[in-house]
Structure 1
C-alpha cells in the first residue's frame, strides 16, 4: 500500500455565519436578508480538510469552544477524514466569522474565541505530533507565539514547513529563516516584501495569483506555474485548497514545481462548487482532472 504523507496543520477553526442580502444595512437600519447558512471554516480547518480529502493522514492541532458550534465542527472534520485527537475544547466560545455578502459590499466580523488559545504552551504540548510529521502547515489566524513554537519544533526535527501568511502581519526575520515555503497571495506578498530583501525570500516564496496560477521566486528568477482554465462557480477556499494540495504533494516527495502544479489542479476543481470545504476535491478527482488535461 502506498504510504500516506503525514501532514500536520496548526491553525484556526471557525464557524462561518453567512448572510446573503441585497445590500449591507446602514447604521441603525434593519433589513431582510435573502439567505443564511452556517459553514465550518477557518484557514487551519480548511487546509486540513483539503489535504485529508486528497488522501493525506492529517492531524489538526487547534482549539474549539465547549459549545454546539465546537461539537458540530469536530464531528464534521472527522467525517472529512481529519484526525481531531489534538483539537481541544478549551473555552465557552468557538471562533466565528460573521459574513454579510451583498452585491457590491461584503463585510466580515471575526471573533477569535478559542483560536486565541493556540499558544506556544498549547503547541508545545503537541510536540510529538509535529515532530513525527512530513509537512507542517500554518497560517496567521492564531497567536504568533503559537506559530513560532510550531516552526521551532518542526525545525528541530527536520520537518518541512509551509506558512500561508494570512491575514498578513509583520513577521520576524528569524521566523522567516526557519520556514521552507511562504504562500501569500499577490496583496500579501507586496506587504511581505516591503521590508525584506529578495535574497531573504529566495526559494521560499510561492505567490498565488488566482486565474494566473502561481509564481515561484528563487535565485532571482520568477517561475510561473500556470493555472488550469476552468468554469468558475465560487472561488471561496481556492487558496486554502492550493495549500492543502501543495502540502500533500510535497509530502509525497515530488518537486516544488510539480507540487505547485498539483496544488493548482486542486484549487481549480475547488472553484467548480459552492463553498470552501464543500468544494474541495478528492485525490481521485484531481488525478482524473490532471490526466484529462494531458
Structure 2
C-alpha cells in the first residue's frame, strides 16, 4: 500500500501537475497477457459516467480516497494484471505508484451519463488514442450501446469505428463492450438475451478498417448452456464483464467459472463485484477471481 494520502495527491496535482506525465514515462510495463495467457483487469471507470452505486449503496464509489484504497488492495494481489479507468482515476494511480508492471486501459467514451436523456449518445469524452499512446498505456475501452429505434446509434457506431482505427494505427488494444439496448419506461436497459448478445458481438467485431487489435468485453448471459454458440460468433479474444454487485457472490463466481472454459475467453474485467463485495473483503473477492483463471 502507498503511504500517500488524498491530501498528498491534491498537493502534488496543484503544485506539480507534470508529475503525472513523469510517472507515466517512468512506469514499468509488461506484456498484455500473463504467462498463463489470461487477463484479470479491475474496472474503475464508473464514476465519470455518474454511476456511483454498488450494491445497496447509491454513493459507494463517491468517496475517491476509499475507491483508491480498494483499488490499491486489488492491484497488489497476486494474479491481478491491470486496471481500466478514466483519466482522473488512472492519474491518481500513477502518482501512487500502483500501476507498475500492470496493464493499463484508458476509458474513452463516458459522455452517456447514467440516467440522462442523452445516455445512449455516449460520445468520446474520455481518453483519446493519442493520450493512451503518450501515457504509454496498453489500450482503450469503448462502450457501444445500440438502440435500433434511435437514429443516433449510427453516429455512435461511426465514433466507435474511428476509435478502433485510431488505436489500431498505434498498435494498441481496442476493448469494445457492445450491447443492444432500448428504453423501458424511460430508462436504458441492455438486452442480455443470448440472441441480443450474439448480434452485438457480430456488430462490434466488424468495426473499423482492421480487427487485428480488437478485443471484446461481453456479459455472461443467463442461458449458460447457450454461451458456447454465443461465443462462437467471433474469433476475437474476449473478456467477461463482471456486472452489478450480486448478493449471492458464490453463484456469480460459479457462472464466471463456466464461461471462462470457452476457448476464446481470455479473462475477466470486473469492477464493483470485486471492489465492493457484500462482505467488504476486497482481497478475498479478488483472490477468488484469480483462482477462477
TM surpasses 0.5? no
Which TM-score band applies after superposition, normalised by the shorter structure?
Answer: 0.3 to 0.5
Q: What is the TM-score of this pair, normalised by structure 1?
A: 0.39
- The structure where strand makes up a greater share of residues is 1
